[in-house]
Amino acid sequence: MRKATFLEYDKPLLCAVVQDRSPQEMIVTINNSLYDGAEAFCIQLEILKPEYRNEQTLKEIFSACRGLPIYITSYRKYFSEHLTDDDCAELLLLGAKCGATLCDVPGDFYCPEPHELTEDIAAIAKQKKLIERIHALGCEVLMSSHLHGFYDEKEVNRIALAQRERGADVVKIVNFATTEEEFLQNVQICTRLKRVLNCPYLYLASGEYGRFIRQTGGKLGCCMYLGVERYHTGSFVEQPILRSLKVIRDNMVF
């Protein structure tokens, strides 16, 4: 059986985002997502209640993914809001030991920054050591920076190269698009990142004009699409519905 990976793919992967509070809810979402065409899963561990964050439960959740690639996050929000970055990192490492494929290391781990990319030398050294530990467990690493504002192509490229230099196998940047001009620049940035990087990347945008990139990013060079199986109270509705992404990916020709 082919080893699960986010680094090799025939088409950009349809990745279902799992954002539930209990393992039972997560497993239901995973099963529904499989019927909607999921080819990978993004399981957000910061949303899972702390009492479920143990080896047995994570293995049960991951087993429901049926051998497909599993991308995990451990951000400092939701039920992890009061944890230290060291605590969040330990949750990533636990997930890696339990069978995750790809761990998301925020670009400002160990030194929070508004644009989520630290330049602190000590923090960068700790990030590199964490990435080495994740790799030693046989796991791939994505580094993420949510910019919380619009950044131009030069700055996006700088962030992308910094993530890659720190050891990321996959680069993830979430820009903003609140005007038509920013929308057009985001399309150009996403398309041209492949000229800058020698690795897979996921480029997204938030804001009024961000949906287009989220729906078509795979055609512009991204390695995956992120979508949800359904919306529920508190959902981030800028994330597309998974089944609509499948239709777009499989039928768009240009």
Q: Where are the domains of the chain?
A: 13-251
Alpha carbons 74 and 91: distance in angstroms, whole number: 7
Alpha carbons 189 and 101: distance in angstroms, whole number: 27
3-state secondary structure the chain: CCCCCCCCCCCCEEEEEECCCCHHHHHHHHHHHHHCCCCEEEEECCCCCHHHCCHHHHHHHHHCCCCCCEEEECCCCHHHCCCCHHHHHHHHHHHHHCCCCEEEEECCCCCCCCCCCCCCHHHHHHHHHHHHHHHHCCCEEEEEEECCCCCCHHHHHHHHHHHHHCCCCEEEEEEECCCHHHHHHHHHHHHHHHHHCCCCEEEEEECCCCHHHHHHHHHHCCCEEEEECCCCCCCCCCCCEHHHHHHHHHHCCC
Across the strands, what pairs with 174? 146, 204
Alpha carbons 5 and 100: distance in angstroms, whole number: 10
- Residue 75: both structure tokens together: 């951000």
Interval 19-56: pLDDT, tens: 999 999 999 999 999 999 999 999 999 999 999 999 99
Interval 104-127: pLDDT, tens: 999 999 999 999 999 999 999 999
Whether 174 contacts 205, CB under 8 Å: yes
Whether 71 contacts 58, CB under 8 Å: no
Q: By CB neighbour count within 10 A (0-12 exposed, 13-18 middle, 19+ buried), where does 198 fall?
A: exposed
Interval 54-106: pLDDT, tens: 999 999 999 999 999 999 999 999 999 999 999 999 999 999 999 999 999 99
Whether 216 contacts 248, CB under 8 Å: yes
Interval 179-232: pLDDT, tens: 999 999 999 999 999 999 999 999 999 999 999 999 999 999 999 999 999 998
CA distances from 226 to 22, 35, 41, 65, 108 (A): 21, 16, 9, 16, 22
Alpha carbons 184 and 195: distance in angstroms, whole number: 18
Q: What is the pLDDT of residue 1?
A: 61
The whole-number average pLDDT for the span 147-154 is: 97
**Confidence tier at 253 by pLDDT (50, 70, 90):** confident
- What's the CATH code, domain 13-251? 3.20.20.70
Residue type, 188: Q
Whether 223 contacts 201, CB under 8 Å: yes
Q: What is the pLDDT of residue 238?
A: 86
